Structure 1
Amino acid sequence: MEAKKEVWLRGEKDPLLAPELQPAADALLQAGEELETLLPDFPDALLWERPAGVAAVGFHLKHIAGVLDRLLSYAEGQMLEPGQLEYLKNEALNQGDTTQQLLKALENGIQQTIRRYRKLDAGSLGAFRKVGRVGLPSTVIGLCFHAAEHTMRHTGQLLVTVAVLRKGI
């Protein structure tokens, strides 16, 4: 069986997306595919284990979904709402979700982020945005790319954590 090409190598382009954002969307889709492949049978009992003190698989799944929502809010010129701040506060907490529930929430977060990317006009990508309570400077395109690279960073960390936990099974 031939290995599936990475998303960015498939030549599939989203006609509703500013071309500058296609690489960011590809990275998000790649992360989603890798996690779906890795975690379908991951034991719920291991979601919140922290081998050697690293972040738990459950945290990574919740954090990726949350950070995508928060960064896109900033890209859209909005400040965070109370529900987003509450989600942030609870990302590291085991709230009884299963692996499948967290994967579904993450997939929804990735798809929602891409829908939000589609609404961004190419002419606005260089616009400045304020990030966080102190209003750190960024641009729309910077926030969109940070969403993608931050997702891939946590995906990589999660992949290693899963490998360590599975070896202990």
Structure 2
Amino acid sequence: MTAPSALEWWQRGPVDGVPASLQPVAHMLLQMRDEVSAAVRDLPVDAWNARPAGVASIAFHVRHIPGVLDRLFTYARGESLNEAQRAALQREGEPVTDEERAILLSELSARVDTSLAALRAIDAATLNDVRTIGRAQLPSTVLGCLVHGAEHGMRHLGQVIVTARIVTARIVAE
């Protein structure tokens, strides 16, 4: 039998306390947390801030993922963003310092935990309730906000993995 940690989260069974309809969201959140940490843990700070071919840096992605989750889960609750959330969005593109790397990974992990707690607290009967996104008040639903938050984070995970491979190859070549 394969050890649970060798399996992707969706292969490990239900996440305790999360409604069945939200299990895929929980699995994506947990997978994302594991894979982001694994992809960046051994990278030097220069690699975090590198922008090969002008792409966004790893630092941006590691800041952006918890920010996206925070913002979309806020919208799922039917709330608007506050000033602190808007300010955090503005800082996502800033370079990271050596000391900040562990803090950013800790913040990402904490945001996943907060998001899982929110999933556990959701009344599944509200998943199709209308929600609006951003200043433009774009239409969505509670479920749309939650799924997009996890899916958007997974897209950025993919970018982290590719960028990490590129900058690692450049470091080895030097």
On whether the aligned pair clears a TM of 0.5, the verdict is: yes
The amino acid across from 2:53 in the alignment is A
Normalised TM-score (structure 1):
0.94
Show structure 2 runs of 5+ residues with no match: none
Q: Choose the corresponding residue for 1:161, options 160, 163, 171.
A: 163
Query: Is 146-155 or 33-42 further displaced after alignment?
Result: 33-42
Where does 1:7-156 land on structure 2 (aligned, <5 Å)?
7-14=9-16, 16-94=17-95, 96=97, 98-156=100-158
Instruction: Report the Cα offset of residue 163 of structure 1.
Output: 0.1
SS at match of 1:80: coil
Please tell me the root mean square deviation across aligned C-alpha atoms, in Å.
1.6
Q: 1:95: Cα distance to partner?
A: 5.2
- Aligned-partner Cα distance in 2 for 1:167–1:99: 20
Structure-2 separation of matches of 1:144 and 1:2? 26
Q: Point out the structure with the larger helix share.
A: 2
1:136 and 1:3 map into 2 onto residues whose CA distance is 39
Letter in 2 for 1:6: E
1:98 is displaced (CA, Å) by 2.8
Q: Specify every segment of 5 or more residues in structure 1 that has no aligned partner in the other structure, as ranges.
A: none
% identical equivalent positions: 39
CA 1:3–1:29 in 2, change beyond 3 Å: closer, same or farther? closer
Alpha-carbon deviation of 1:3? 7.6
